[in-house]
Structure 1
Amino acid sequence: MKELKDTQNERDDRNLPIDRVGVKGLRFPVEVRDKDGSTQRSVATVALAVDLPEHYKGTHMSRFVEALNAHGGCLDVRSMASLPAELLRRLDARKAHVEFEFPFFLSKPAPVTGKPGLMDYGVKFEVEAERDGDVDFVVTIQVPVATLCPCSKQISERGAHNQRGIVTYSVRFREPVWVEDLIALVERSASCELYSLLKRPDEKFVTERAYDNPVFVEDLVRNVASRSNAHDDIVWYRVEAENFESIHNHQAYAVIEKPRS
């Protein structure tokens, strides 16, 4: 077969390095390891990128997909760390960046009747590796919660307004932390956690639980941050809460980020 011209390896004279170049929006089936040792099947949206020195015209896009397929479909923190290193080798790069974003499901029993229902949470793994061996791993989860307004409870003779919110929680760690444990940490910080299936006794329970545990959006992020500070393996975090207000035409928002040491 006649050798084809490698245009990507041609020299570029504009003297402009590129921070990240690669592929994104790639859908890929994965098996995610659970804390209990089992696996669940999911579909991840994947982004793969490397840096490009100023003298190269382009990168070889097919090699990203080759590396992904060679990596296999079982996903956990330890196996994820090997994929950026493979990109560094295949593309002769100095930095590589990998993102896997996927829905993660937990079976949660209703709080009184115990009826099981599946809850879905957003999870993202981000890994950045450098040729000198440095690896940066960030896990991000999105957890829906319920909050009840302390001010509304204090000033009202009957009831208090409550709303659903989303907590976006990112961590770096010394030792890997299970996604299930991060979800539980966030849910304990709200007025009440959410369930997919509630019968009447369960609905009574969650309504009263939220009423007995009012939190502002400020309380929510502080609760998550305080629990993060007490966790031995979490070395950095960013916690962002957005409440979809039930009596306003806007969201309430707060964020806390721990500085990197």
Structure 2
Amino acid sequence: MKELKDTQNERDDRRLPIDRVGVKGLRFPVEVSDKGGSVQRTVATVSLAVDLPAHFKGTHMSRFVEALHAHGGCLDVRTIASLPRELLRKLDARKAHIEFQFPFFLSKAAPVTGKQGLLDYEVRFEVEAEEGKPTDFIVTVFVPVATLCPCSKAISDRGAHNQRGIVTYSIRSTEPIWIEDLIALVERSASCELYSILKRPDEKAVTERAYDNPVFVEDLVRNVASRSNAHESITWYRVEAENFESIHNHNAYAVIEKH
């Protein structure tokens, strides 16, 4: 076969290195172990990227997908963690960055009736590798919660406004931490956690639980940060909370990051 021209390896004279170049929006099956000893099979949305020196015109996009498929039809967490180092070798790069975001399901029992129902959460793994440095691994969980406004409770004769919100919680840690434990840490920091199935006795219980535990969005991020500071394995965190306000046409927002 006649050798085809390799345009990507041609020289570029603009003297502009690229921080990240690669593929994104790729969907791929993954396996995630849960705390109960089972394996969840789910589908991740994947991004793979490397840096590109100034003198190269382009990178070889097909090699990203080749590296992903080299491990067979399904990846586990250990394989995901090693993938950036493989990209460094395959693409002759100095830095590689990958992201895997996927739905993760928990079976939760309603607080009074015990009715079981699946609730979905989003999880993201970000792994970065650089020559001569340890691999960096960040886990992010996106946790829906309920919050009840302390101000509304304090000034109202009857009831208080409440809303659903989302907490985006990212960590680095010295030891692996179960996804379920990160979700539970966030849910304990809110007025009440969410459930997929609630009968009338359950609805009464969660309504009263939220009323007895009002939190501002500021309280929510501080609660998560305090619990993170007390966790011996967590070395860095970023906690972001957004409440979808029920009596305003805007959202309430707060963020804390440990530097």
TM-score range, shorter chain: over 0.9
Equivalent in the alignment of 1:117: 117
Equivalent in the alignment of 1:228: 228
Pairing 1:70–2:70 present:
yes
Equivalent in the alignment of 2:200: 200
Which residue identity does 2:208 align to in structure 1?
A: E
Equivalent in the alignment of 1:173: 173
* Residue 134 (structure 1) shift: 2.4
**Deviating more after overlay: 25-34 vs 203-212:** 25-34
Which residue identity does 2:79 align to in structure 1?
A: S
Equivalent in the alignment of 1:248: 248
Which residue identity does 1:138 align to in structure 2?
A: I
CA distance in 1, matches of 2:32, 2:161: 38
4+ long deviations beyond 3 Å: none
Unaligned runs of 5+ in 2: none
**Deviating more after overlay: 2-11 vs 217-226:** 2-11
* TM-score (ref. length: structure 2): 0.98
Alignment of 1:118-133 (within 5 A): 118-133=118-133
Pairing 1:19–2:33 present:
no
Alignment of 1:126-141 (within 5 A): 126-141=126-141
CA contact (8 A) 1:64 1:87 kept: yes
SS at match of 2:177: coil
SS at match of 1:74: coil
CA contact (8 A) 1:46 1:101 kept: yes
* Residue 198 (structure 1) shift: 0.3
Which residue identity does 1:75 align to in structure 2?
A: D
Equivalent in the alignment of 1:212: 212
SS at match of 1:81: helix
Equivalent in the alignment of 1:155: 155
Aligned length: 258
Percent sequence identity over aligned pairs: 82
Which residue identity does 1:80 align to in structure 2?
A: I
* Residue 36 (structure 1) shift: 1.8
CA distance in 2, matches of 1:71, 1:46: 15
Unaligned runs of 5+ in 1: none
CA contact (8 A) 1:71 1:83 kept: no
CA distance in 2, matches of 1:133, 1:75: 23
**Deviating more after overlay: 132-141 vs 111-120:** 132-141
Compute the RMSD of aligned alpha carbons.
0.9
* Residue 7 (structure 1) shift: 1.1
CA contact (8 A) 1:105 1:120 kept: yes
* TM-score (ref. length: structure 1): 0.97
Spell out, residue by residue over 1:116-169, the C-alpha distance to the aligned partner (whole angstroms, 9 max, x if none): 101011111000101214211111111000000111111111111110000000
Which residue identity does 2:3 align to in structure 1?
A: E
CA contact (8 A) 1:33 1:74 kept: no
